[in-house]
Amino acid sequence: MNIIFFGTPAFAVPSLERLLSHPDFTVLGVVTQPDKRRGRGNQLTPSPIKAIAQAHNLPLYQPKSVKKDEETLDKLRLAQADAFVVVAYGQILSQAILDMPRLGCINAHGSILPCYRGAAPIQWSLYHGEAETGITTMLMNAGMDTGPMLLTVRTPIALLENFDDLAARLAPIGADLLIETLQKLSQQTIQPLLQDDTQATYAPLIKKEAYWLDWSRSAIALHNQIRGFYPACSATFRGDALKIVATAPLASAYWSQLPPALSVIAQAWSPVATAKPGEVVGLLKGEGAIVQTGEGVLLLRTVQLPGKRPQSGWDFSNGTRLALGDVLGNGG
């Protein structure tokens, strides 16, 4: 089967690598997003998928808008690919592109469709505290992740998994499912299943306000926000921004999901009845500060001060001489 691959971030790399190493497939070319300026030096940096394409000397296309770039469209058309494979590409494909390959455009999406259609399914599934997620392969149509489903695989989400953890675990799962999907499509042994639009939920692009923490929310809601939008959620501390990178809720409902040593600590914790949201109500040696929320308490496991590297909650507590009664402000 002749393939053209569309993808951009690290999440897409296992899928491209699997296609390149599999004897059933030939990758004719790769379409990825233009290089972006990143880091303190603001230097143009290629996408992870571009690096793989260059390492394998594959034809590479980086149109600013793939549906408007006539040169790229002509080359895609002339390739006469059996299928276009799309994994986290980052642009909408026009109907003209969708109609080009013989078997259609096949997408591997990071959710159990029709839930979490859109640009950030892994992030929003964590934000909403889902117990499981997965990968769905589908035949693409003109809608946003609305095409007929092909195969689905499910996996549980651990309490302390963040976006990077979950994406890294889902990426190879998606690669395996993609290979199986393409083989079954070629063999005509797979039946597309229409999505139930009444069950659809959405995962839009993340706006900057989504990173702001509000200590009046519950501990589990804040924990899910922090791990879903990892590593960028922020509060304030003594007038400066403070990134909260990793946390753990200590309520009894979560004891069985915590590491054993942390579970023992959580079970020994006694609430402070008069504490207000954002107030430091405990300092656990070797762990970090315990902060009161609108409902329950949250252990700060990793934080990051402006201009500094991330540090453990305990190092932060020592370095800032954090004391009981200190108050962290909301982000924003």
Whether residue 4 has pLDDT greater than 80: yes
How many beta carbons lie within 10 A of that of residue 3, not counting itself? Answer: 25
* Residue 101 among known ligand-binding residues: no
Give the model's pLDDT for residue 160.
98
Give the model's pLDDT for residue 44.
87
What 3 state SS string does 59-105 have? CEECCCCCCCCHHHHHHHHHHCCCEEEEECCCCCCCHHHHCCCCCCE
pTM confidence score:
0.95
What is the average per-residue pLDDT within 264-269? 90
Distances (CA, A) of 23 to 13, 178, 272: 18, 14, 62
Spatial contact of 181 and 137, defined as CB atoms under 8 Å apart: yes
Q: Which amino acid belongs to residue 34?
A: P
231-245 pLDDT, tens per residue?
Answer: 999 999 999 999 999
Lookup result for tokens 């405990």: 282
Give the model's pLDDT for residue 269.
86
Domains of the chain: 2-199 (3.40.50.170), 209-319 (3.40.50.12230)
* Residue 114 among known ligand-binding residues: yes
What is the average per-residue pLDDT within 6-27? 98
Strand runs labelled E in the chain: 2-7, 26-31, 36-38, 43-45, 60-61, 83-87, 105-109, 132-139, 149-156, 234-237, 240-249, 280-284, 288-292, 297-304, 311-312
124-154 pLDDT, tens per residue?
Answer: 999 999 999 999 999 999 999 999 999 999 9
* Alpha carbons 251 and 257: distance in angstroms, whole number: 11
How many beta carbons lie within 10 A of that of residue 61, not counting itself? Answer: 18
How many beta carbons lie within 10 A of that of residue 56, not counting itself? Answer: 13
pLDDT band at 43 (very low <50, low <70, confident <90, very high): confident
Question: Average pLDDT over the chain, rounded to whole?
Answer: 96
Instruction: Name the percent of the chain lying above pLDDT 90.
Output: 95
76-107 pLDDT, tens per residue?
Answer: 999 999 999 999 999 999 999 999 999 999 99
Give the model's pLDDT for residue 273.
81
DSSP label at residue 253: G
Give the model's pLDDT for residue 25.
98
What is the average per-residue pLDDT within 38-55? 89
pLDDT band at 270 (very low <50, low <70, confident <90, very high): confident
Give the model's pLDDT for residue 39.
72
How many beta carbons lie within 10 A of that of residue 322, not counting itself? Answer: 20
